[in-house]
Amino acid sequence: MIEHAERIAGTDVPPAKLASRRLAPIATASYYTFRPTPRLLHSPAIEEQIQKEEKPDARQGVSAAESNAADVPWYLQVEPPRHPTLVHEPPPLPEVPEGSPKIVELLLRYVSDELGLDELTLLDLRAMDPPPALGPGLLMMFGTARSERHLHVSADRLVRWLRGRGITAAADGLLGRNELKLKLRRIARKAKLLGTSGVPRGGDDGISTGWICVNLGSLGGSHEEVVTVDAEGRPTGFGVPDTGTTIVVQMLTASRREELDLESLWRGKLRANLKKQGLPMPANPAETPSSSEATF
């Protein structure tokens, strides 16, 4: 301080400015002790009170959401659906008769889910005696295809699916991929020569069959040779009896199925055969009085 005063005294500074340049006294803070009362000890801290004040109320949030919804223009507001969403449920599959091969249930599911055939029905013709020409223990399945192309594609896929499971099926009416292309090429060449390329085809052209019969053959049963004897015990023959179950899949278009009406034909044959045997006709042809216990 003394050195600073001597430095100022050596200069020509007016006394008023010297008075303003005097250093202000240093303020000393007063220190004191604070002892909280028991009431303050049990009260919440100031930080907790501030956090509670900052938290929005649930009602305030709802009101804010309503105000925001009111601010949205009408063309952006989405109304909740008035009706529940329509879920497409697949039609129920026909019941599998008792004693049927295990492949029948898998076949029904594959034909319905993978191939997309509609109006599936299953006729149990195992009670017919003598058995039909298609084979003993006959189970006949019917399905409707949406178009001619769907019919051939579904039959081709079904034959390949059965081949992968060790079943060699015969598909009557199915045209192979190369055979179909060859026949279409021949028809186009013939129409070009006759000058009728723009005229739609009519009649039976060998392509638009509308009906494919897939015969899986006899599944299960015994493959051992047996000897047949008469009432007196004399042998009358020998061979491998047909004791399995024959499965046939009838695939038709809607118009062809209505035209042929194979279900009524086979139901009539079953009714006449059971009447000849003295057996009652079941309400559901899938449930016959006598069913063979075959597994596959």
| pTM score, whole prediction | 0.60
Cβ atoms of 266 and 248 closer than 8 Å: no
Tell me, yes or no, whether 154 and 198 share the same domain: no
- SS3 state of residue 231: coil
Tell me, yes or no, whether 109 and 189 share the same domain: no
pLDDT score, position 280: 83
pLDDT score, position 268: 93
Q: How many domains does the chain have?
A: 2
The total of other beta-carbon atoms located within 10 Å of residue 128's CB is 20
Closest CA to 246 of 168, 159, 108, 138: 138
pLDDT score, position 99: 87
Tell me, yes or no, whether 75 and 102 share the same domain: yes
Tell me, yes or no, whether 263 and 160 share the same domain: yes
CA-based diameter of the chain, in Å?
163
Tell me, yes or no, whether 131 and 257 share the same domain: yes
pLDDT score, position 292: 38
pLDDT score, position 290: 40
Written as six digits, the tokens of 291 are: 């069913």
CATH of the domain at 49: 3.30.460.10
Range of the domain at 195: 176-202
pLDDT score, position 287: 44
Tell me, yes or no, whether 251 and 266 share the same domain: yes
Closest CA to 148 of 235, 81, 84, 206: 206
Tell me, yes or no, whether 187 and 66 share the same domain: no
Look up tokens 């039609």; give the residue.
91
Mean pLDDT per 10-residue segment, the chain (296 residues): 51 52 52 57 54 53 60 76 62 88 93 93 92 91 92 93 93 82 81 68 67 91 71 75 86 94 94 89 55 39
Tell me, yes or no, whether 68 and 190 share the same domain: no
First to last CA, the chain: 118
Closest CA to 125 of 138, 116, 115, 110: 138
The CA distances from residue 22 to 5, 8, 179, 269, in Å, are: 10, 11, 118, 132
Closest CA to 121 of 153, 82, 85, 94: 94
Tell me, yes or no, whether 193 and 260 share the same domain: no
Give CA–CA dist 131/139, Å, rounded.
Answer: 11
Residue 254 in domain: yes
Residue 63 in domain: yes
| CA Rg value for the chain | 47
pLDDT score, position 218: 87
pLDDT score, position 139: 95
Residue 168 in domain: yes
pLDDT score, position 230: 77
Tell me, yes or no, whether 52 and 189 share the same domain: no
Residue 77 in domain: yes
pLDDT score, position 172: 92
One-letter amino acid at 199 equals V
Tell me, yes or no, whether 122 and 181 share the same domain: no
Tell me, yes or no, whether 196 and 143 share the same domain: no
Residue 149 in domain: yes
pLDDT score, position 13: 52
- SS3 state of residue 219: strand
